[in-house]
């Protein structure tokens, strides 16, 4: 008997769900197998297929007609970007395993090739649905709203002349068509770049007639062009760059006849490999690797759906791909570039209402004095990230501050925080920055900021080779009454002022002595050599967090066995680490109530009779990217609440440097539980519930029940009106 991992619409709620498929075996019950093995593969969802299912939930946002129109388009673009990264990293990694002959399976017992086969089926469905949504819903709705993408057959003579002038003046000088023959081999194709395969007839001036050429669109060019107002029939009329090239591609091959011109794009392996045992200078090694990222092994070919089979086969053969890797699309091959439309169109009525993050009223002008009065908890994006920047700025200008230490994972290209750290270093403060050069897809930006900080006089280190530094820590050492006092900021998210407006995260400002000492010890681990010291309050990956979580889960299980109330709540981005899943299964069997809010990957199956029927899993997908990590343990009536930089994955718990910090102030602890956990467990508009057959079903209010959106509630209660 088989079942499907999908989000297939039910008869009752057919327009609220979205399909994703994975075939699995029927799960036996404990009664069928008295000594049930919790390592059995049917108890686990495949990691990659679970991630792909999350991307489908993101795409489902674009199907929601209650959403503002341009925000629906934004979610199509986000889903496209997510899928690109999925192929660049996850599919690329599986292909490497297959090429190496690996048949090793994960907890779900699927071999790399089996996973690739299932990904291909699910991803093709994903892409078909994406373009169907774009062409049949979003583009017509945009046109009705006065935002139109003009097709070539609708151009007036005046528009055609304008396009001709644009091609001659803006495109022709920078395009370099490559005719394919023995003297002109197939050009190197950049990862995810827009290209055209062109079929030709006739001979050129040298008598050559290879019949094919390639035209590459420079990345510097916008993928669509706005028409001047005097030519527009709508408030906003645009023409795709591809349409301009299609219309005049013949001008690139004078004397020859173009018989076809078709878009294509290839996706390449974008993972970077640096052998820690062979590297003397991590920065220089990464700079060398980055040069090769644009031309990694190909993993996917996207091509216009009207491209002839002969030309498709030619491209597949050239790139070493199969039909399984081919995606034929009805529209732009680079959907994510449509995101720039939101900046070009001034239509607030088609976007989310703007808001202004609030600043807690307790914050005075002197942040050090305020922190001494009590811990401060910030909940982004509903509350502003500005106090964090002000904290560093005041430290940089305060003569009593002797040292500033900070970890940087992602900061953005123009980081205000980095500006302040540079000022502090130039002001003779002792500034130490742990820059994670291997923050995926931010490597180049981090290399630049590391260089800038070094030039300003800051001490810059790159953490520990082999362990990414993912912890979010900021330590300020201040002299007060002839003693050193430590002030600390710890967070669940990056020190990135832009993502702080679109990611939900917690940040804690404290001068607790034990926490300050723990953070000091963690920085010592990152900047020098020596054995790790035992921490008093914090849990840390890769040393104490994994075991600390399992101990706390087992403690709840033991309480349940003794007939005491036992309860675990957690909000994380991903759950994939098998021993954590084992512990949760054991706790569920013991009778612990377990409520999990898992945004993306979830390899655990809830609701299996006798095994995980005490476990409930939901995913929240909404306006903001859910990024907070919160762990709650009832602890025999003395609840423990932690926030962390780490998810429950192998890489976070065992292969990275992460911090997990307690929320001990009773008022702040209650706030985290009520606003960060319970409110999300009550959400019935943006929640997707996972069942024992691995289906995700989107919740809707039942009957007369009030609609509850956790994000919307927090916006109303915490943020200021714009």
Pairing of strands 257-268, 195-201: antiparallel
Per-residue pLDDT at 277: 42
What torsion do the CA atoms of 643, 646, 647, 650 make, to the nearest 10 degrees?
A: -150
Alpha-carbon distances of 223 from 189, 240, 334, rounded to whole Å: 17, 6, 9
234-260 b/e (C-beta count within 10 Å ≥ 16 → b): eebbbbbbbbbbbbbbeebbeebebeb
Per-residue pLDDT at 291: 53
DSSP 574: -
467-503 b/e (C-beta count within 10 Å ≥ 16 → b): bbbbbbbbbbbbeeeeeebbbbbbbbbbbbbbbbeeb
By annotation, the residues acting in catalysis are 470
Pairing of strands 593-598, 615-620: parallel
Most distant CA pair in the chain, distance = 90
Q: Which two tokens stand for residue 663?
A: 């929320």
Helix pair angle (47-63, 112-133), 10° resolution: 0
- d(CA 33, CA 52) in angstroms, rounded, equals 32
Q: Which two tokens stand for residue 159?
A: 């528009």
Per-residue pLDDT at 128: 97
- DSSP secondary structure string for all residues of 17-62: ------EEEPPPPTTTSSS--TT-GGGB--HHHHHHHHHHHHHHHH
- d(CA 304, CA 704) in angstroms, rounded, equals 47
Residues of the chain with pLDDT under 70: 1-36, 182-183, 204-208, 210, 272-295, 438-442, 530, 721-722
Q: Which two tokens stand for residue 375?
A: 């811990």
- Torsion angles phi and psi, residue 453, rounded to 5: -65, -40
Helix pair angle (92-99, 112-133), 10° resolution: 150
Q: Are 579 and 611 in contact (CB under 8 A)?
A: no
- d(CA 317, CA 314) in angstroms, rounded, equals 5
- d(CA 82, CA 63) in angstroms, rounded, equals 17
What torsion do the CA atoms of 158, 164, 170, 174 make, to the nearest 10 degrees?
A: 170
Please give the angle made by the CA atoms of 152, 154 and 156, to the nearest 5 degrees: 100
Q: Are 380 and 389 in contact (CB under 8 A)?
A: no
Per-residue pLDDT at 182: 63
- d(CA 404, CA 458) in angstroms, rounded, equals 10
Helix, strand or coil, per DSSP, at residue 713: helix
> Percentage of the chain with pLDDT > 70?
89
Which position has the token pair 């065992």? 654
Per-residue pLDDT at 539: 98
pTM of the entire predicted model? 0.90
Q: Are 382 and 671 in contact (CB under 8 A)?
A: no
Per-residue pLDDT at 413: 74
Pairing of strands 298-304, 326-329: parallel
- DSSP secondary structure string for all residues of 257-296: EEEEEEEEEEEE-------TTT-S-HHHHHHHHHHHHTT-
- d(CA 225, CA 527) in angstroms, rounded, equals 49
Q: Are 252 and 177 in contact (CB under 8 A)?
A: yes
Q: For residue range 259-314, list pLDDT tens digits in order.
A: 999 999 999 998 755 444 444 444 554 444 445 545 678 999 999 999 999 999 99
Question: In the 3-class helix/strand/coil scheme, how is 500-513 assigned residue by residue?
Answer: HHCEEEEEEEECCH
Which position has the token pair 């009773």? 666
Per-residue pLDDT at 514: 97
Q: 124: buried, middle or exposed (CB in 10 Å: 19+, 13-18, 0-12)?
A: middle
CA atoms within 13 A on the CB side of 126: 28
Sheet containing 236-240: give its strands across. 147-149, 236-240, 224-226
Q: Residues 6 or more apart from 317 whose CB is under 8 A from it?
A: none
Residue 386's CB: how many other CB atoms inside 10 A?
16
Pairing of strands 625-626, 503-510: parallel
Please, what are the domains in the chain?
2-132 (1.20.58.310), 152-283+296-349 (3.30.1840.10), 357-534 (3.30.870.10), 540-721 (3.30.870.10)
- d(CA 646, CA 632) in angstroms, rounded, equals 14
Q: Which two tokens stand for residue 202?
A: 């006739």
């Amino acid at each position: 008997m088989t079942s499907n991992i999908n989000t297939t619409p039910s008869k009752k709620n057919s327009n609220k769900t979205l399909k994703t498929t994975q075939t699995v075996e029927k799960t036996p019950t404990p009664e069928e197998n008295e000594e049930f093995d919790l390592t059995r593969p049917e108890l686990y969802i495949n990691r990659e297929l679970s991630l792909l299912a999350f991307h489908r939930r993101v795409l489902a946002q674009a199907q929601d007609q209650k959403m503002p129109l341009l925000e629906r388009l934004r979610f199509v673009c986000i889903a496209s970007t997510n899928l690109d990264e999925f192929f660049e990293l996850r599919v690329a990694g599986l292909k490497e395993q297959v090429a190496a002959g690996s048949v090793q399976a994960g907890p779900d017992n699927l071999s790399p090739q089996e996973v690739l086969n299932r990904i291909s089926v699910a991803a093709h469905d994903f892409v078909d649905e994406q373009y169907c949504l774009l062409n049949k819903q979003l583009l017509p709705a945009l046109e009705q709203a006065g935002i139109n993408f003009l097709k070539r057959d609708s151009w007036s003579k005046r528009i055609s002349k304008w396009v001709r002038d644009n091609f001659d003046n803006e495109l022709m000088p920078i395009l370099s068509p490559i005719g394919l023959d023995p003297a002109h081999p197939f050009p190197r194709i950049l990862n995810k770049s827009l290209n055209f395969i062109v079929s030709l007839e006739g001979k050129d001036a040298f008598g050559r007639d290879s019949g094919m050429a390639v035209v590459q669109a420079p990345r510097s060019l916008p993928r669509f062009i706005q028409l001047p107002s005097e030519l527009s029939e709508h408030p906003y009329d645009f023409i795709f760059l591809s349409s301009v090239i299609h219309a005049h591609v013949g001008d690139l091959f004078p004397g020859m006849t173009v018989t076809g011109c078709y878009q294509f794009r290839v996706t390449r392996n974008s993972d970077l490999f640096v052998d820690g045992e062979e590297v003397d200078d991590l920065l220089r090694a990464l700079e060398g690797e980055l040069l090769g990222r644009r031309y990694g092994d190909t993993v996917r070919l996207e091509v216009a759906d009207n491209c002839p089979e002969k030309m498709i086969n030619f491209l597949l053969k050239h790139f070493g791909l199969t039909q399984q890797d081919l995606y034929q699309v009805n529209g732009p091959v680079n959907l994510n570039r449509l995101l720039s439309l939101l900046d070009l169109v001034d239509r607030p009525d088609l976007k989310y209402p703007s808001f202004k993050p609030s600043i807690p009223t307790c914050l005075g002008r002197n942040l050090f004095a305020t922190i001494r009065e009590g811990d401060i908890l910030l909940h982004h994006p509903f509350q502003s990230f500005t106090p964090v920047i002000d904290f560093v700025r005041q430290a940089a200008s305060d003569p009593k501050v002797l040292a500033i230490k900070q970890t940087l994972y992602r900061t953005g290209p123009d980081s205000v925080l980095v500006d302040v750290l540079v000022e502090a270093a130039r002001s003779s403060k002792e500034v130490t920055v742990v820059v994670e050069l291997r923050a995926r897809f931010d490597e180049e930006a981090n290399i630049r900021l590391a260089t800038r900080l070094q030039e300003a006089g800051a001490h810059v280190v790159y953490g520990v080779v082999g362990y990414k530094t993912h912890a979010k820590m900021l330590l300020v050492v201040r002299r007060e009454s002839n003693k050193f006092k430590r002030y600390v900021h710890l967070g669940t998210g990056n020190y990135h002022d832009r993502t702080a407006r679109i990611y939900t995260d917690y940040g804690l400002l404290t001068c607790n002595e034990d926490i300050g000492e723990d953070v000091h010890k963690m920085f010592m681990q990152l900047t020098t050599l020596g054995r790790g010291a035992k921490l008093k309050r914090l849990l840390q990956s890769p040393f104490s967090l994994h075991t600390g979580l399992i101990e706390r889960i087992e403690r709840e299980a033991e309480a349940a066995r003794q007939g005491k109330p036992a309860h675990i709540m957690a909000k994380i981005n991903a759950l994939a680490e098998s021993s954590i899943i084992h512990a949760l299964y054991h706790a569920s069997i013991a009778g612990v109530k377990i409520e999990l809010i898992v945004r993306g990957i979830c390899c655990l199956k809830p609701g299996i009779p006798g095994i995980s029927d005490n476990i409930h899993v939901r995913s929240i997908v909404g306006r903001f990217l859910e990024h907070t990590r919160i762990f709650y343990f009832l602890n025999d009536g003395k609840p423990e609440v932690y926030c962390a930089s780490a998810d429950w994955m192998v890489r976070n718990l065992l292969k990275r440097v992460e911090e997990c910090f307690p929320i001990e102030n009773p008022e702040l602890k209650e706030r985290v539980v009520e606003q960060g956990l319970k409110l999300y467990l009550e959400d019935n508009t943006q929640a997707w519930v996972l069942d024992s057959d691995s289906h995700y079903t989107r919740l809707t209010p039942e009957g007369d029940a009030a609609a509850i959106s956790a994000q919307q509630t927090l916006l109303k209660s915490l943020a200021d009106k714009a």
